[in-house]
Structure 1
Amino acid sequence: MKKIFERALKEIEENGDKLPLDPDVLRAYQIATDEYYDEYLREQCIIDLLKLLRQQKEH
Protein backbone atom coordinates (compact mmCIF):
# COMPACT_ATOMS: atom_id res chain seq x y z
CA MET A 1 0.00 0.00 0.00
CA LYS A 2 2.86 2.37 0.76
CA LYS A 3 4.06 2.29 -2.87
CA ILE A 4 0.63 3.47 -4.02
CA PHE A 5 0.88 6.56 -1.83
CA GLU A 6 4.46 7.18 -2.95
CA ARG A 7 3.36 7.11 -6.61
CA ALA A 8 0.38 9.33 -5.86
CA LEU A 9 2.57 11.83 -4.02
CA LYS A 10 5.02 11.86 -6.93
CA GLU A 11 2.15 12.60 -9.33
CA ILE A 12 0.95 15.41 -7.06
CA GLU A 13 4.46 16.90 -6.83
CA GLU A 14 4.93 16.73 -10.61
CA ASN A 15 1.57 18.39 -11.27
CA GLY A 16 1.40 20.72 -8.28
CA ASP A 17 1.16 23.74 -10.56
CA LYS A 18 -2.29 22.51 -11.65
CA LEU A 19 -3.67 22.68 -8.10
CA PRO A 20 -5.54 25.81 -6.99
CA LEU A 21 -3.64 28.20 -4.72
CA ASP A 22 -6.25 27.87 -2.00
CA PRO A 23 -4.88 27.99 1.58
CA ASP A 24 -6.51 24.63 2.41
CA VAL A 25 -4.93 23.02 -0.64
CA LEU A 26 -1.52 24.46 0.21
CA ARG A 27 -1.83 23.19 3.79
CA ALA A 28 -2.83 19.72 2.59
CA TYR A 29 0.17 19.74 0.23
CA GLN A 30 2.46 20.72 3.10
CA ILE A 31 1.14 17.92 5.30
CA ALA A 32 1.32 15.35 2.49
CA THR A 33 4.95 16.12 1.72
CA ASP A 34 6.28 16.47 5.29
CA GLU A 35 7.29 13.25 7.06
CA TYR A 36 6.83 14.99 10.42
CA TYR A 37 3.07 14.42 10.24
CA ASP A 38 1.23 11.21 11.11
CA GLU A 39 1.16 8.68 8.28
CA TYR A 40 -2.65 8.40 8.30
CA LEU A 41 -3.06 12.18 8.06
CA ARG A 42 -0.52 12.34 5.24
CA GLU A 43 -2.32 9.57 3.35
CA GLN A 44 -5.66 11.35 3.70
CA CYS A 45 -4.15 14.57 2.34
CA ILE A 46 -2.61 12.66 -0.56
CA ILE A 47 -5.99 11.11 -1.38
CA ASP A 48 -7.73 14.50 -1.27
CA LEU A 49 -5.05 16.20 -3.35
CA LEU A 50 -5.09 13.42 -5.93
CA LYS A 51 -8.88 13.70 -6.25
CA LEU A 52 -8.59 17.47 -6.68
CA LEU A 53 -5.80 17.07 -9.22
CA ARG A 54 -7.86 14.62 -11.26
CA GLN A 55 -10.83 17.03 -11.19
CA GLN A 56 -8.59 19.85 -12.43
CA LYS A 57 -7.33 17.69 -15.30
CA GLU A 58 -10.92 16.98 -16.39
CA HIS A 59 -11.68 20.69 -16.79
Structure 2
Amino acid sequence: MTTTTADVQIPLPDRAFEIWDEVTQAWTRIPGRYNVEIGHSIADLRIAVPLQLPEQD
Protein backbone atom coordinates (compact mmCIF):
# COMPACT_ATOMS: atom_id res chain seq x y z
CA MET A 1 0.00 0.00 0.00
CA THR A 2 1.39 3.40 -1.02
CA THR A 3 0.83 6.43 1.19
CA THR A 4 0.64 9.86 -0.39
CA THR A 5 0.95 13.08 1.58
CA ALA A 6 0.36 16.67 0.57
CA ASP A 7 0.33 20.08 2.22
CA VAL A 8 -3.02 21.81 1.88
CA GLN A 9 -4.52 25.10 2.94
CA ILE A 10 -8.22 25.29 3.71
CA PRO A 11 -9.48 28.83 4.27
CA LEU A 12 -11.95 29.06 7.15
CA PRO A 13 -14.25 32.07 7.43
CA ASP A 14 -14.19 34.20 10.58
CA ARG A 15 -17.73 33.00 11.34
CA ALA A 16 -16.38 29.48 11.91
CA PHE A 17 -14.93 30.76 15.20
CA GLU A 18 -17.76 33.05 16.30
CA ILE A 19 -20.78 32.61 18.54
CA TRP A 20 -23.94 34.70 18.79
CA ASP A 21 -23.79 36.96 21.86
CA GLU A 22 -27.32 37.52 23.19
CA VAL A 23 -26.23 40.55 25.23
CA THR A 24 -24.60 42.51 22.41
CA GLN A 25 -26.82 40.99 19.69
CA ALA A 26 -23.74 40.41 17.52
CA TRP A 27 -21.37 37.66 16.43
CA THR A 28 -18.35 37.47 18.73
CA ARG A 29 -15.08 35.62 18.24
CA ILE A 30 -13.89 33.82 21.35
CA PRO A 31 -10.07 33.70 21.58
CA GLY A 32 -8.47 30.48 22.73
CA ARG A 33 -7.26 27.09 21.59
CA TYR A 34 -9.33 25.12 19.10
CA ASN A 35 -8.88 21.84 17.26
CA VAL A 36 -9.82 21.83 13.58
CA GLU A 37 -10.81 18.23 12.91
CA ILE A 38 -10.85 16.64 9.48
CA GLY A 39 -12.36 13.32 8.44
CA HIS A 40 -14.86 11.45 6.34
CA SER A 41 -17.55 11.96 8.99
CA ILE A 42 -17.87 12.86 12.65
CA ALA A 43 -17.44 9.15 13.41
CA ASP A 44 -14.29 8.89 11.27
CA LEU A 45 -12.03 11.83 12.13
CA ARG A 46 -8.52 11.39 10.74
CA ILE A 47 -6.69 14.62 11.61
CA ALA A 48 -6.86 17.18 14.43
CA VAL A 49 -4.90 20.40 13.89
CA PRO A 50 -4.50 22.76 16.88
CA LEU A 51 -5.23 26.43 16.25
CA GLN A 52 -4.70 29.35 18.64
CA LEU A 53 -6.94 32.41 18.15
CA PRO A 54 -5.42 35.53 19.72
CA GLU A 55 -7.34 38.34 21.38
CA GLN A 56 -8.86 40.79 18.91
CA ASP A 57 -7.65 44.39 18.81
Which band: TM-score by shorter chain? under 0.3
> Bigger radius of gyration, 1 or 2?
2
What TM-score, normalized to structure 2? 0.19
Larger proportion of strand:
2
